[in-house]
């Protein structure tokens, strides 16, 4: 049984040197740290999102906006459109706010956790990750993968979320002063590829001999029973004219803020929608789509306009968007589902 923090860190770093994932935002083990902009951008994108889903978005963003100054100068609508499909859209709004704050200070990110936390949208995890990976600062970096590794390594039996203080203290106890960024990424890689949520590959784990929870690894981390998500209902409205559909821009704050979308009846995380259709006339049912948000489930009905759509339709800011170029509008996934349903139903007319 490995008993010292130094032994655990050294063993894990040795494993990482030979097995590190090759990712576009990383530097190879032992090499100089990567550009802080790329580290920060990747960490924001990776929040509650898989590496596989993030990689094409990261490539597109860094090709289009190769520096934090370029991103800071970007149009809000363009960034929101480029983010479409990645989900958790508040991240995109925070991304712009942070980029502009960094640009205002000359384009350089601060290099300590405390200073990074002062930037818009940087929580404890992202600040720690950027400090460790981009600047080599000793920081305790805990994402979902690291949380699982530490809970098993120390057999922390308290259920989440209450166990997080103990998990952080345990992670702190094994975090080395040197190669902090590599250590953080090694823990992430161990959780992603070896110490997985289901069927962990304990026989291949470099820390198996030190793991107190190995004999019942899948028990950890202990999770409190899930609460059922509330069910919400709403309606989206499809208004078409001359091969174009009416799209609106959602308010900056709130669900899917700042995104292009179909007009709807005002549904929210707190309740069902009850708003009136955006135009008088005949409407017909166009089907229903289901979508899962973090805190609720939404059943969104689609209502198709059967009247003669005029140029005056749409009391809110909006635009007529060609249906055959709808994939360029940057619609959130929910409205992509609704639009596909509407387009599929056009053949019934």
Which structural domains are found in the chain, ordered by start?
5-219 (1.10.340.30), 231-348 (3.90.79.10)
DSSP string, 55-78: HHHHHHHHHH--SHHHHHTS-HHH
Q: Which of 150, 88, 170 is nearest to 334 (CA)?
A: 88
Judged by average pLDDT, the poorest of 10-19, 36-45, 245-254 is: 245-254
pTM, full prediction: 0.80
Per-residue model confidence (pLDDT) at position 313: 65
pLDDT at 126 over 70: yes
Q: In the structure, what pLDDT confidence band is assigned to residue 326 with cuts at 50, 70 and 90?
A: very high
pLDDT at 6 over 50: yes
Tens digits of per-residue pLDDT, 253-293?
888 888 899 999 999 989 999 988 888 888 999 999 999 99
Tokens (6 digits) for 100: 């502009």
Per-residue model confidence (pLDDT) at position 322: 94
Per-residue model confidence (pLDDT) at position 347: 56
> 43 an active-site residue?
yes
The one catalytic residue among 43, 69, 240, 290 = 43
Q: In the structure, what pLDDT confidence band is assigned to residue 88 with cuts at 50, 70 and 90?
A: confident
Label the pairing between strands 244-249 and 240-241: antiparallel
Per-residue model confidence (pLDDT) at position 287: 95
Q: Which of 148, 102, 143, 149 is nearest to 123 (CA)?
A: 143
pLDDT at 63 over 50: yes
Q: In the structure, what pLDDT confidence band is assigned to residue 203 with cuts at 50, 70 and 90?
A: very high
pLDDT at 295 over 60: yes
CA distance 20 to 179: 14
CA distance 121 to 95: 7
Q: In the structure, what pLDDT confidence band is assigned to residue 345 with cuts at 50, 70 and 90?
A: confident
Beta bridge partners, 318, equal: 248
pLDDT at 127 over 70: yes
Q: Which of 177, 205, 178, 176 is nearest to 191 (CA)?
A: 205
Is residue 203 within 8 A of residue 214, CB to CB? The reply is no
Beta bridge partners, 246, equal: 320
pLDDT at 251 over 90: no
pLDDT at 7 over 50: yes
Per-residue model confidence (pLDDT) at position 36: 97
CA distance 321 to 19: 48
Q: In the structure, what pLDDT confidence band is assigned to residue 340 with cuts at 50, 70 and 90?
A: very high
């Amino acid at each position: 049984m490995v008993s010292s923090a130094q032994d655990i860190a050294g063993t894990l770093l040795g494993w990482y040197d030979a097995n590190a994932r090759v990712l576009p935002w990383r530097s190879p083990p032992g090499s100089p740290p990567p550009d802080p902009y790329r580290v920060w951008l990747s960490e924001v994108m990776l929040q509650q999102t898989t590496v596989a889903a993030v990689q094409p978005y990261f490539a597109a963003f860094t090709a289009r906006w190769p520096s934090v100054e370029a991103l800071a100068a970007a149009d809000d609508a363009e960034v929101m459109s480029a983010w479409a499909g990645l989900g958790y859209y508040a991240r995109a709004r925070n991304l712009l706010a942070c980029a502009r704050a960094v640009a205002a200070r000359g384009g350089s990110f601060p290099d300590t956790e405390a200073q990074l936390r002062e930037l818009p949208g940087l929580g404890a995890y992202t600040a720690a990750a950027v400090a460790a990976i981009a600047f080599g600062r000793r920081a305790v970096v805990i994402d979902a993968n690291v949380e699982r590794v530490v809970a098993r390594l120390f057999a922390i039996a308290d259920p989440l979320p209450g166990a997080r203080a103990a998990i952080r203290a345990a992670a702190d106890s094994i975090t080395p002063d040197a190669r902090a960024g590599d250590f953080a990424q090694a823990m992430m890689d161990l959780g992603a590829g070896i110490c997985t949520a289901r069927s962990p590959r304990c026989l291949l784990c470099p820390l198996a001999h030190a793991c107190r929870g190995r004999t019942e690894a899948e028990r950890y981390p202990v999770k409190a029973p899930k609460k059922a998500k509330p069910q919400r209902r709403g309606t989206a409205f499809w208004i078409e004219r001359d091969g174009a559909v009416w799209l609106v821009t959602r308010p900056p704050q709130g669900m899917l803020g700042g995104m292009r979308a179909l007009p709807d009846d005002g549904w929210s995380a707190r309740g069902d929608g009850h708003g009136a259709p955006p135009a008088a006339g005949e409407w017909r049912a166009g089907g229903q789509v289901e979508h899962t948000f973090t805190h609720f489930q939404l059943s969104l009905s689609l209502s198709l306009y059967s009247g003669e759509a005029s140029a005056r339709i749409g009391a809110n800011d909006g635009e007529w968007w060609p249906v055959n170029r709808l994939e360029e509008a940057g619609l959130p996934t929910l409205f992509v589902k609704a639009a596909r349903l509407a387009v599929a139903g056009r053949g019934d007319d």
